[in-house]
Amino acid sequence: MRLNVLAAVAPATGVCSALIFDGCDTAVFQLFVDTLAADCPAEPGKTYHLVLDNANWHKAKRLHWHRVTPVYLPLCSPDFNATERLWLHLKFQWFAGFTARTEEAPTHRLTSAIQSLFAHPQLVVSQCRVSAEDF
C-alpha cells in the first residue's frame, strides 16, 4: 500500500494541516485545498500561499483555490520547498529501521508522526526555517 500525505505548514508558526490518502489525484487534492481553506482564518485582504511542485493535479483548471494562492516551484527543485526538511526529519525519526508487521502499521505510524508535528510546532519551525545561506 502506498500512502500519500498532503500537508501545508506555516513556517513562521509551525502550524500544520495534513491529510493522509492512499492515492492522489485532482479530486483528492481539491479535498485537501478545501480543508486547508477551512483551517485558514478568513481575514479581509489576507491570502495564503501554498508552495507546490508541478504534479498535474496541482495545476488542474477545475481546482477552486478559495483564499489560497498556488506558488509553483521550478521543475526538479524540491529543495526550494522548506517542508522537504520536515519530511526528512519524519523519515529519520519515525521510519528508520521500521518494519511493518501488519497492513495497518504504516498508517498508524504515519498518523502518529504527523500528530507529533501538530503537537510540536517549534520543531516544525526549526525544520522549515529558510535563510539566505540555504541558497
pLDDT along the chain (135 residues), means of 10: 86 87 93 91 82 91 93 84 85 93 93 92 84 46
Q: What is the structure's pLDDT at 132?
A: 43
Domain holding 52: CATH number? 3.30.420
Separation of alpha carbons 10 and 52, rounded Å: 14
Q: How far apart, in whole angstroms, are the C-alpha atoms of residue 12 and residue 121?
A: 9
CA angle 31, 16, 66 (to 5 degrees): 40
pLDDT given for residue 101 in this prediction: 94
pLDDT at 70: 95
Query: At residue 20, what are phi and psi to the nearest 5 degrees?
Result: -115, 130
Q: What is the pLDDT of residue 83?
A: 80
**Tell me, what's the pLDDT at 130?**
61
Three-state secondary-structure class, residue 33: helix
| CB atoms inside a 10 Å sphere around CB 70 | 13
Tell me the C-alpha distance between 121 and 32, whole Å. 20
- List residues bridging with 18 in a β-sheet: 7
Instruction: Give the global pTM.
Output: 0.82
* Residues of the domain holding 119: 4-134
Number of domains in the chain: 1
